[in-house]
Amino acid sequence: MHEPSAANRYRTLDLAAVPALLAGLGAVRERLGGRPADWRIREVGDGNLNLVFLVDGPSGSVCVKQALPYVRAAGPSWPMSLERAFFENAYYQAVGPYVGRRIPAIYHYDPDLYCTIMERLSPHIILRQGLIAGNVYPDLAEHMGEYVARACFFTSDLSQGCERKMSGVALFAGNQALTRISIDLIFSDPYLASERNRHTSPHLDALVHELRRDADLKIAVARFGRKFLTQAEALLHGDLHSGSVMVADGDTRVIDPEFALYGPIGFDLGAFFGNLLLNAYAQPGHATAADDRRSQQAWVLGQARRFWLTFRARFLDLWREHGAEGYPGTLFAEAADQARIEAAREDYLRGVFADMLGFAACKMIRRILGFAHVLDFDAIEDAARRADCEAHALEFARRLLKDPGEFASIDAVIDAVSRTA
Amino acid sequence: MHEPSAANRYRTLDLAAVPALLAGLGAVRERLGGRPADWRIREVGDGNLNLVFLVDGPSGSVCVKQALPYVRAAGPSWPMSLERAFFENAYYQAVGPYVGRRIPAIYHYDPDLYCTIMERLSPHIILRQGLIAGNVYPDLAEHMGEYVARACFFTSDLSQGCERKMSGVALFAGNQALTRISIDLIFSDPYLASERNRHTSPHLDALVHELRRDADLKIAVARFGRKFLTQAEALLHGDLHSGSVMVADGDTRVIDPEFALYGPIGFDLGAFFGNLLLNAYAQPGHATAADDRRSQQAWVLGQARRFWLTFRARFLDLWREHGAEGYPGTLFAEAADQARIEAAREDYLRGVFADMLGFAACKMIRRILGFAHVLDFDAIEDAARRADCEAHALEFARRLLKDPGEFASIDAVIDAVSRTA
For the stretch B320-349, pLDDT in tens is: 998 777 788 788 888 889 999 999 999 999
pLDDT higher than threshold 80 for residue B5: no
Residue ranges of B 192-231 with Cβ closer than 8 A to chain A: 192, 213, 215-216, 218-219, 222-223, 226, 229-231
A173 DSSP 8-state letter:
T
Say which amino acid occupies B287.
A
HEC readout, A200-226: CCCCCHHHHHHHHCCHHHHHHHHHHHH
Strand A251-254 to strand A245-248: parallel, antiparallel, or no bridges (unpaired)?
antiparallel
| Residue A48, pLDDT score | 67
- Rounded CA-CA distance B155/B235 in Å is 6
Question: Is the pLDDT at B15 greater than 70, yes or no?
Answer: yes
Per DSSP bridges, beta strands A234-236 and A115-119 are unpaired
Interface test with A, best of B1, B83, B160, B169 (most A CBs within 10 A): B169
pLDDT beyond 60 at B6? no
Cβ–Cβ pairs < 8 A, chains A and B: 115
Query: Given pLDDT bands bounded at 50, 70 and 90, which one contains residue B370?
Result: very high
The C-alpha angle with vertex B27 and arms to B22 and B32, in degrees rounded to 5, equals 60
Is the peptide bond between A202 and the residue preceding it cis, with omega within 30 degrees of 0?
Answer: yes
When CB atoms are compared, the residue of A161, A179, A334 closest to B166 is: A179
Looking at residue A4, its pLDDT comes to 45
Q: Average pLDDT, stretch A128-149?
A: 97
User: Closest partner residue to B170 among A170, A231, A340, by Cβ?
Assistant: A170
Residue B191 contacts residue B212 (beta carbons within 8 Å): yes
Quick check: A218 and B174 CB within 8 A?
A: no
Instruction: Return the CA Rg of chain A.
Output: 22
Instruction: Please give the span between the terminal C-alpha atoms of chain A, in angstroms, as a whole number.
Output: 47
Calculate mean pLDDT across residues A52-81.
88
pLDDT score of B334: 85
Beta-carbon separation of B192 and A231 below 8 A: no
DSSP string for A247-297: EETTEEEE---TT-EEE-HHHHHHHHHHHHHHHHHHGGGG--SS--SHHHH
pLDDT single digits (tens) B24-61: 999 999 999 999 999 999 999 866 678 999 999 999 99
The per-residue pLDDT for B333 is 83
Conformational region of residue A83, where left means phi above 0, alpha means psi within -120 to 50, and beta covers everything else: alpha
Pairing of the two strands B234-236 and B261-263: antiparallel
Q: B67 has which bridge partners?
A: B50
Q: Which of A174, A188, A230 sits opposite B233 (nearest CB)?
A: A230
* Rg of chain B, C-alpha, whole Å: 22
Among A272, A270, A261, residue whose Cα is nearest residue A237: A261
Element (H, E) at A67: strand A61-67
Question: How many Å apart are CA B343 and CA B349, to the nearest integer?
Answer: 10
**How far apart are the C-alpha atoms of B229 and B154, rounded to whole Å?**
20
Q: Please enumerate in sequence order all residues whose Cβ is within 8 A of that of A287, keeping only pairs 6 or more positions apart, or say none.
A: A293
CA B43 to chain centre: 23
Residue B108's H or E segment, with its range, is strand B106-110
Best of A172, A189, A219 to disrupt the B interface (most B CBs within 10 Å) is: A219
The SS3 assignment for B294 reads helix
3-state secondary structure of A170: helix
The residues, any chain, with a CB within 8 Å of residue B234's CB and separated by 6 or more, are: B151, B152, B153, B155, B156, B262, B263, B265
Q: Do A157 and B191 touch (CB under 8 A)?
A: no
Under 8 Å CB-to-CB from A398, ≥6 apart: which residues? A211, A214, A217, A361, A365
User: In terms of Cα–Cα distance, which of B335, B336, B377 is closest to B131?
Assistant: B377
Start-to-end C-alpha separation, chain B: 47
CA–CA separation, A244 vs A274, rounded Å?
13
State the pLDDT confidence band at B64, using cuts at 50, 70 and 90.
very high
Nearest by CB to residue B162, choosing from A157, A158, A179, is A179
Say if residue B4's pLDDT is above 70.
no
The answer to whether the CB atoms of A219 and B180 lie below 8 A apart is: no
Of A213, A232, A341, the CB nearest to B334: A213
The neighbouring-strand residues paired with B403 are none
Task: Note the pLDDT of residue A7.
Answer: 56
Closest C-alpha to B255, from B373, B124, B73: B124
Distance CA B165, CA B159 (A): 10
At residue B190, does pLDDT exceed 50?
A: yes
The pLDDT score that the predictor gives to residue B194 is 87
* Domains assigned to chain B: 7-119 (3.30.200.20), 125-420 (3.90.1200.10)
Q: Residue B397 burial (CB < 10 Å; 0-12/13-18/19+)? A: buried
Per-residue pLDDT tens for B242-300? 999 999 999 999 999 999 999 999 999 999 999 999 999 999 999 999 999 999 999 99
Q: Is A170–B174 a contact, with Cβ atoms under 8 angstroms apart?
A: yes
**Residues of chain B neighbouring A192 (CB-CB closer than 8 A):** 330-331
- Which sign, positive or negative, has the C-alpha torsion B402, B405, B408, B413? negative
- Under the banding of pLDDT at 50, 70 and 90, the label for residue A247 is very high
pLDDT in tens, A271-315: 999 999 999 999 999 999 999 999 999 999 999 999 999 999 999
pLDDT given at position B7: 56
Q: Give the mutation candidate from B162, B196, B350, B366 for the A interface (greatest A CB count, under 10 A).
A: B162
State the average pLDDT over residues A170-179. 96
Inter-chain contact A219–B340, Cβ cutoff 8 Å? Answer: yes
Test the B interface: residue of A176, A186, A319 with most B CBs within 10 Å: A176
In angstroms, the Cα distances linking A8 to A3, A5, A111, A112, A113 are 12, 9, 11, 8, 9
What is the per-residue pLDDT for B79? 83
**Which of A167, A176, A330 shows the shortest C-beta gap to B163?**
A176
Question: pLDDT value at position B74?
Answer: 73
Query: pLDDT per residue over B116-158, tens digit each?
Result: 999 999 999 999 999 999 999 999 999 999 999 999 999 999 9
For residue A293, the model assigns a pLDDT of: 96
Alpha-carbon distance of B417 to B65, in angstroms, equals 37
pLDDT, tens only, B85-111: 999 999 999 999 999 999 999 999 999
Number of helical H runs and strand E runs in chain B: 15, 10
**What is the CA angle B203-B209-B212, rounded to 5?**
135
Q: What angle separates helix A265-282 from helix A383-402, to the nearest 10 degrees?
A: 150
Round to whole Å and give the CA distance between A327 and A332: 7
CA–CA separation, B113 vs B86, rounded Å? 10
Q: What is the largest distance, in Å, between two alpha-carbon atoms of chain A?
A: 69
pLDDT at B48: 67
Find out whether A261 and A174 touch, Cβ atoms under 8 Å: no
Q: Is A157 on the interface with B (CB under 8 A)?
A: yes
Helices (H) and strands (E) in chain A, counts: 15, 10
In tens, the pLDDT along A356-388 reads 999 999 999 999 999 999 999 999 999 999 999
Residue A408 carries which side chain, given as an amino acid letter?
A
Please report, to the nearest 10 degrees, the dihedral formed by the alpha carbons of residues B168, B171, B174, B177 taken in order. -60
Render the burial of B23-61: b for 16+ CB within 10 Å, e for the rest. eebeebbebbeeebeebebeeeeebbbbbbbbbbbeeeb
Q: Work out the average pLDDT over B368-386.
A: 97
Surface-to-core class of residue A42, CB atoms within 10 Å of its CB (0-12 exposed, 13-18 middle, 19+ buried): exposed
Q: For A199-230, what is each residue's pLDDT tens digit?
A: 999 999 999 999 999 999 999 999 999 999 99
Q: Per the CB < 8 Å rule, is A219 touching B161?
A: no
- Angstrom distances, CA of residue A421 to CA of A141, A153, A360, B307: 20, 33, 16, 52
- CA angle A217/A219/A220 to nearest 5° reads 65
Crossing angle (nearest 10°) for helices A215-230 and B337-369: 30
Distance between CA B84 and CA B238 in Å, rounded? 12
d(C-alpha A208, C-alpha A192), whole Å: 10
Among B79, B274, B98, which Cα is nearest to B177's? B79
Q: How far apart are CA A118 and CA A121, in angstroms?
A: 9
**Least confident stretch, A68-77, A153-162, A258-267, B186-195:** A68-77
User: Hey, is the C-beta of A350 within 8 angstroms of any chain B C-beta?
Assistant: no
Which are the contacts of B217, defined by CB distance < 8 A and separation ≥ 6? B191, B211, B398, B401, B402
